[in-house]
Amino acid sequence: MTESDLPVVQLTPGRWGDPTHPVALPAAAIDALKHLGVKRPQTPPGAAGPDSAGRGSAGPDSGGARIGNEPRGAEDLHRLTDGQLSFLASVVGAEHVASDLSSRWAHTRGYSTTDLLRFRAGDASGMPDAVVYPASHDEVAALLAGCAEHELALVPYSGGTSVVGGLAPSRRFVTVDLRRLDQLVELDEISRTATLQAGVRGPAAEALLAEHGYTLGHFPQSYEGASIGGYAAARSSGQSSAGYGRFDQMVVGLTLATPRGTVELGRAPMSAAGPDLRQLVLGSEGAFGIITSVRVRIRPRPAERHFEGWRFENFDAGLTAVRRLAQDGPLPTVLRLSDEVETAVNLADPDVLGGGSGGVLAIIGFDGPYNRATADVLTAAGGTNLGEGPGETWRTGRYRAPYLRDPLLDEGALVETLETAAFWSRIPALKAAVTEAIVGALSATPPLVLCHISHVYETGASLYFTVICAQADDPIAQWRSAKSAANQAIATVGGTISHHHGVGTDHRDAYVTEIGPLAVEALQAVKTTLDPNHVLNPGILLPEP
């Protein structure tokens, strides 16, 4: 089975994946957590299971599953007026407006660790006043056209997999769930493009394209739940970016609904007719409008695929090898390098690394024939070919990591990720500075800090960190402290605040600092033009004026 064959997963609010198929931590992992001082709470808040504290009611969006603790103080939460509900119903139909507690609770926040902790605690502060389910671009446009008159702020919701506070606006709001926009609108086999609606989930997009022999080739770790609209709005990047590019590099056109009308972009693959406004919309995170469809480049499905592992003595040696491939080629489809800590944590059997201790693991993958010239570059850089075993192990376990976070939280561990990117010359200093900042901020609960590179360019690469430690009394404040320290380290060394997770609210202040006041003013002017009443995702991406 490949990524193209995976089904769409019905994500359960407050937990990643299908609660009827829970993932258990290996005994070795639980023992390792004890060495970090992790202690299992007597009753994990919101944990799944008949004896858990999670007794949320099962609404239409929860698939009949528990969705965590009941929201605290729900009876005091604001509800829409009859006039507001009538307006929403007049656009999408009364049967597609949900104001019940279960539906609203199921659309509360995303899937960052702090989101999950708040959900487990029953924190309803980020709950929408209602959820609407439009079925077309025209219905989305009509919602946006009337939202200011009816004093409604709107937040687009596709897969709901944001990990940076992208679903937590600064004031009351209505969620616009795009799941009914789920069609392959057009397939241009001569140009090799496909137009997909924003609500199409990743596996569903692959299935639609596979019927015609094509693939999009975009496989982020959130692939099972994320959607086409979210890919575009957050500038997503997937595991095959070395071969297929980031999602924003795949986009050749899009349709944007705004409170002032519709914007259609992408008449040709490239143009010198002024600035490329497609790039202005990509990454705008619903602040300028709601993307309703995207035209993307597609490629024929590969007839064969190959994955293999390579061992290097240390991260610096592996980094040199990866950079040579990125700059001089030939690039594989997948190129990934884990540091010493991540390699040790992820490989239960040291023999997988070819025997002995130490070293780092690189993964390469090819969609299509194996390219021996790539292997020659890695060998010349000091790499040892470990064969297909480690590569296939990584590929088949690739989407398991998000499922492990819930049992880790149940055990009392704090686990979270962050990512950045920089030019090659800054990568070693950036990795060291971020690691040092996190370790320093979490000195009271000494952490494991794992790091890998999985997205490379001729001029630089991304760094992706995973942090695991014991939870403090206030784990949300604990992580905020660590993230703040990491953000400062990123800014000091000269990295970007995000390579592919986006800005949301978590990175908003750092983003403002990164681009400077004049650039912020320019973006605010764009928002004011398209959204004069600032009703779209208020406080997301940019501060409210």
Bridge-based pairing of strands 290-297 and 299-300 is: unpaired
Question: Alpha-carbon distance 342 to 338, whole Å?
Answer: 6
The neighbouring-strand residues paired with 177 are 157
Binding residues, by number, are 156-162, 285-291, 405
Question: Alpha-carbon distance 301 to 210, whole Å?
Answer: 7
Question: Alpha-carbon distance 472 to 482, whole Å?
Answer: 12
Binding residues for FAD, by number, are 156-162, 285-291
Judge residue 26's burial from the number of C-beta atoms within 10 Å of its C-beta, 0-12 exposed, 13-18 middle, 19 or more buried: exposed
Binding residues for substrate, by number, are 405
Q: Positive or negative CA dihedral for 139, 144, 146, 151? A: positive
User: Which among 411, 421, 415 has a CA at the least distance from the CA of 438?
Assistant: 415
The neighbouring-strand residues paired with 215 are 299
Judge residue 474's burial from the number of C-beta atoms within 10 Å of its C-beta, 0-12 exposed, 13-18 middle, 19 or more buried: exposed
Contacts of 167 (CB under 8 A, 6+ apart): 107, 108, 109, 110, 126, 155, 157, 160, 175, 504
User: Which among 503, 436, 417 has a CA at the least distance from the CA of 165?
Assistant: 503
Mark whether 464 is an active-site residue: yes
Q: What does each C-alpha distance from 222 to 16, 230, 231, 399 come to in angstroms?
A: 10, 10, 10, 8
Question: Alpha-carbon distance 131 to 141, whole Å?
Answer: 16
Instruction: Write the DSSP string, 176-187.
Output: EE-TT---EEEE
> Which candidate in 111, 223, 403, 464 is catalytic?
464
Bridge-based pairing of strands 130-132 and 174-177 is: parallel
Show which residues are catalytic.
464
